[in-house]
Structure 1
């Protein structure tokens, strides 16, 4: 897919907080006074404080251009997390939405012989080969978000639960409509970029969750994770459906445009669920309009990716785990933010 692939939606101020929440595993949890002598397994699970300065490592970083809130939050989370470590030299390359330029940028990091690479590819399939070249050169790759199809191309993958996002949105909508006694609801779905596997996973999770309530998606249309595309797609759907019960919009960045179209049309007979967890979406939820919830997809994953790359490059594991090495994959949970819990999540929201 040679076209530019920019993307959406979640949580900026959580550079340290988000990574710390996911990987508190990197500090010791040993009890001060064990009741009895520890077994070999208990000893292995103890671990040490992995945040102490260790071997100096250079971590390369490549991601798409920050042309919307979620990607901007990815870069900020990674940069801020790296700055926390005196033993890390952070080496980002110029962000770009051009596939060939990103390949070239990653190749410069391979030539520089960095200790580890963190890569959020514009497209996992098209950057798979250059990631494989890095691993073949002995450089561990932490694959962020959009996955490389060849598992030999990365040491560890970390990302959000796209299927889980769809499930969470589907359960919120399905449960609410079922409680209201709606028998044949009109449910609309505004996707992100339809060709991306992550979008397909979100749609599949949404359909599977709705099915448990006896519901199905009435109409589905893809946008491009941008404000402009959100406005256009929402306008089309609003004109085509004179009565709507619920909308799931995959991405809170494009959701700005979706909400603008809804306001312009003067429609409020339905409720909407967003995706990713932007700060502006959470403020809309607080205000009590058609947007009632959003399901999270946190850019704090970038901070955690840097943290994992450091551990791998230094030959460390995650000290709350029994295993000696960092896991091969880590999937973040997708959480549902509503008016009842939005105050808890708002400090972590990224700005669209």
Structure 2
């Protein structure tokens, strides 16, 4: 099984919190075939280098079985802490429990695990972000219209939470109808294909919410090809490509996270734990709605 192994090691010096250098931290990440998670990885790598830790990065390729294999691989390397960005909240529980059995502290990033002992969860409030997107759509449509949603990976906590917040905002508007909600797995090409199908199935649509910018950019291509660029289109994540698309008028808005900050905080929190410090069970990372001026 091919794995992406990226290591940054500093052999001398002290971490900022004072413990000996070169504690080994593993980052098991859902996929690196997504700019959001690449930025998260880069933030973690930069912080690990600054604090003098060795960081091992393992790419799960959006495969829960591979994720568990990656966790077991990392644990066999005698890591001191595990940063886990789960592919699936329920499936991730096995990996968390394996780390618990070895007394390796676990910190979840962006997505949560449904069971097992997690020292800290670092993420934006995805429910609040979904609500932001829904409220924006409601405002743009004057509280009336037919909307479709492109969901992320089924089972991922981000998929569930963003959908929950978005649907709650639509319900509050009363005049908005969720005509369809289908998964496109946070993938741009799948976003294009699913959007094509939705346009075929629903002649009257007014807005699209894609649970990440990659799906939104795929949907935008489908809307453009079908002459439906009049639809309100909202993404999520605030990736560089997503923000540029807002500036270019291809997306109406994106709910911006700070993936680099999530990665940085993950390593900083592991650093604190390894120094014997207490950490918050939940560490929020602020969101903001990016719209074209």
Given the two structures, how large is their TM-score scaled by the length of structure 2? 0.86
Task: Decide which of 1, 25, 31 is 1:59's aligned counterpart.
Answer: 25
Secondary structure at the aligned position of 1:138 is classed as coil
Task: Decide which of 241, 257, 274 is 1:297's aligned counterpart.
Answer: 257
- Output aligned runs, 1:202-281, within 5 Å: 202-214=162-174, 215-281=176-242
Shift of 1:177: 2.1
Distance 1:190 1:241 in 2: 14
Q: Does the C-alpha gap of structure 1 residues 196 and 122 become closer, same or farther in structure 2, counting only changes over 3 Å?
A: closer
Shift of 1:155: 1.1
Matching residue of 1:160:
124
On the 8 A contact 2:33/2:61 being kept in 1, the answer is: no
Distance 2:76 2:285 in 1: 32
Distance 1:326 1:309 in 2: 9
Q: Tell whether 2:150 aligns with 1:190.
A: yes
- Output aligned runs, 1:59-208, within 5 Å: 59-86=25-52, 88-93=53-58, 95-150=60-115, 152-178=116-142, 184-208=144-168
Shift of 1:94: 5.5
On the 8 A contact 1:78/1:305 being kept in 2, the answer is: yes
Shift of 1:235: 1.0
Distance 2:194 2:76 in 1: 43
CA-based RMSD of the aligned residues comes to: 2.1
Distance 1:122 1:284 in 2: 27
- In our comparison, the structure showing a higher alpha carbon Rg is 1
Q: Does the C-alpha gap of structure 1 residues 220 and 108 become closer, same or farther in structure 2, counting only changes over 3 Å?
A: closer
Matching residue of 2:275:
314
Higher RCO (CA 8 Å, separation ≥ 6 residues): 1
Q: Does the C-alpha gap of structure 1 residues 246 and 108 become closer, same or farther in structure 2, counting only changes over 3 Å?
A: closer
Unmatched 5+ stretches in structure 2: 1-14
Given the two structures, how large is their TM-score scaled by the length of structure 1? 0.72
Q: Does the C-alpha gap of structure 1 residues 130 and 304 become closer, same or farther in structure 2, counting only changes over 3 Å?
A: same
Matching residue of 1:338:
291
Bigger drift between 307-316 and 280-289 goes to 280-289
Distance 1:221 1:100 in 2: 24
